[in-house]
Structure 1
């Protein structure tokens, strides 16, 4: 039986970082080929093409670069590659994986991985994460599941994965869905058959600026009034509880929603935005009546990316609302 043909693309991140002589801390130095050469078992799993796309920390990646990366992956898929592994910094994995999930329209698997510890650290997790990612990317069961995040031998869906800790190798979690599977004895085992919504959006011609504004105790919302003048084209409100903001925010949000799309997400780690329970001023029912779009189970970070991609494709407000509804109804 022939081995799958995979491409491993490195953008940088902790997994590529080492400390130079006399340096203060670690920084990206290793290439994709360097990382693969450190894990000889990978050659037993697949035929690998190595590509270094960039060499930077995850916090410095831009949406335009991820869109370019998605285009590159689709080109490789069209050329016969069976799966792709993207290596990057863990700071933004939850965002870039979701963006790739939107922009790569293919059943072939895209895996995003990285490391919580640098390459020279005791117990460095990068080699194990890379091997697990290759195993998942080469698994027939991974096909059609969209972009997946693989770290700590766990498999997560791009739509719901979050970085849950600053340092633990078990950092990545999916509060609203749980993990999709795991890697054990050199095999990918999928423990969930639930389908995730697939969006398959075209690559936006331009990325509009989308703000995230977080509601907090005692804030009067004056920042909302400044957003149009600052050049923002849309906003995601990260609301309290089930989708609530201070009462004084409500009229400000009415005015803002008349000028631009406003999406309502929640700041809680788990649970959806409510739509039909609370009716006080500033509640989810009140805000929906003022034109805000519920984000469903998407958190603010991912809601921002979806809104930006849809606006970049010149979608109407109703089309935007429909796409967000898919993360309330979990229609695959």
Structure 2
């Protein structure tokens, strides 16, 4: 008899295991879906138009639209917000983190968060820093609204629930499941404005895959997260203002000065190349750093690390190298870290550790 391809063998085993658990009366995992809005909850006037409105569909309607999803887990849903992710805020993110910390202390086995893709990597990374649980926390979204021809949201949601219900997903930090791929919050980034395969993990690679609810995991994250993180937000109601300033040819230094004048407690430079910037801007960064405003050198380049003391003397200027954090993740990390320290040395260690 001809041997079945690997995927079908693995899927068959998974189905047999599910059938066995049902036969012996073993209870399914409890998964709570926390909805925030986004394209996955979006709607358009027709199935073939590009324009749509985010956050139009409730969590109950999304779950009801996915066949057999309740066979994967006992599902409950909560509506945290219903916004396009361009309107995601620290207020919503803090609410989300606190609710996750509450739920995972109980009998919830995993969390799924529906979220728009524009700022999904920022929310994922924030939650990775402050959610105190080893249980799976999985973000999911879509690139096409729920009304579109060949909408990608239903299968993404199905796979996300399968990952959240999987004990093998535990202790891997906050994950993102999109288009069959499982990413770590530490490494993922959005690389296309419209493509369905919009998320990549260019430096550290995927955590695993989820194919029609059949999961395979490759690795654990390298850096600190979750229960290993020093950051807590139980009593936090707001985060310090941190601005990102984009570096380019002949950039004006007064942008840095204006940021501080408007109340920034930290600055991230989306630098050219290895976190570089024109001399006038570099001098301005050194000046505000001496005033006690931490400045992080990141890069506008999609992949690669920003090293310390490579082309810029960070020790002399009092600046912080972002290492493998892009500008948006650097902003999240600096905002959270400023709750505990403003020391450049301590902040540099944090950027190496997380």
Give the TM-score normalised by structure 2: 0.86
Q: Distance in 2 between matches of 1:52 and 1:141?
A: 27
Q: Does 1:102 align with 2:129?
A: yes
User: Who is 2:30 aligned against?
Assistant: 5
Runs of at least 5 residues in structure 2 that lack an aligned partner in the other structure: 1-25
Q: Distance in 1 between matches of 2:309 and 2:345?
A: 19
Task: Assess if the C-alpha contact under 8 Å between 2:298 and 2:323 holds in 1.
Answer: yes
User: Who is 1:75 aligned against?
Assistant: 102
- Number of matched pairs: 320
Q: Deviations over 1:140-199 (max 9, x none)?
A: 111111100110010011012111111111111111111111013522101234534313
Task: Assess if the C-alpha contact under 8 Å between 1:20 and 1:26 holds in 2.
Answer: no
The structural deviation recorded for 1:318 is 3.3
Give the alignment of 1:74-93 within 5 angstroms.
74-93=101-120
Q: Distance in 2 between matches of 1:174 and 1:34?
A: 31
Task: Assess if the C-alpha contact under 8 Å between 1:129 and 1:152 holds in 2.
Answer: yes
User: Who is 2:44 aligned against?
Assistant: 19
User: Who is 2:303 aligned against?
Assistant: 270
DSSP 3-state at the match of 1:127: helix
User: Who is 2:23 aligned against?
Assistant: none
Q: Deviations over 1:17-76 (max 9, x none)?
A: 11359x973342211111101113111100011111111100101012111111001111
DSSP 3-state at the match of 2:203: coil
Larger Rg: 2
Give the alignment of 1:166-315 within 5 angstroms.
166-198=193-225, 199-203=229-233, 204-259=236-291, 260-277=293-310, 283-284=311-312, 286-314=313-341
Relative to structure 1, the CA distance from residue 291 to residue 219 in structure 2 (aligned partners, 3 Å threshold; closer, same or farther) is: same
Runs of at least 5 residues in structure 1 that lack an aligned partner in the other structure: 278-282, 328-332
Q: Distance in 2 between matches of 1:59 and 1:173?
A: 20
Task: Assess if the C-alpha contact under 8 Å between 1:221 and 1:248 holds in 2.
Answer: yes
The structural deviation recorded for 1:249 is 2.1
Q: Distance in 2 between matches of 1:200 and 1:157?
A: 19
Q: Distance in 2 between matches of 1:194 and 1:55?
A: 30
DSSP 3-state at the match of 2:62: helix
Task: Assess if the C-alpha contact under 8 Å between 1:215 and 1:238 holds in 2.
Answer: yes
Relative to structure 1, the CA distance from residue 75 to residue 170 in structure 2 (aligned partners, 3 Å threshold; closer, same or farther) is: same
Q: Deviations over 1:239-281 (max 9, x none)?
A: 111121112222211111112111111111111112244xxxx
User: Who is 2:75 aligned against?
Assistant: 48
Relative to structure 1, the CA distance from residue 253 to residue 316 in structure 2 (aligned partners, 3 Å threshold; closer, same or farther) is: closer
Q: Distance in 2 between matches of 1:298 and 1:2?
A: 40
The structural deviation recorded for 1:229 is 1.1
Relative to structure 1, the CA distance from residue 254 to residue 311 in structure 2 (aligned partners, 3 Å threshold; closer, same or farther) is: same
Q: Distance in 2 between matches of 1:235 and 1:135?
A: 39
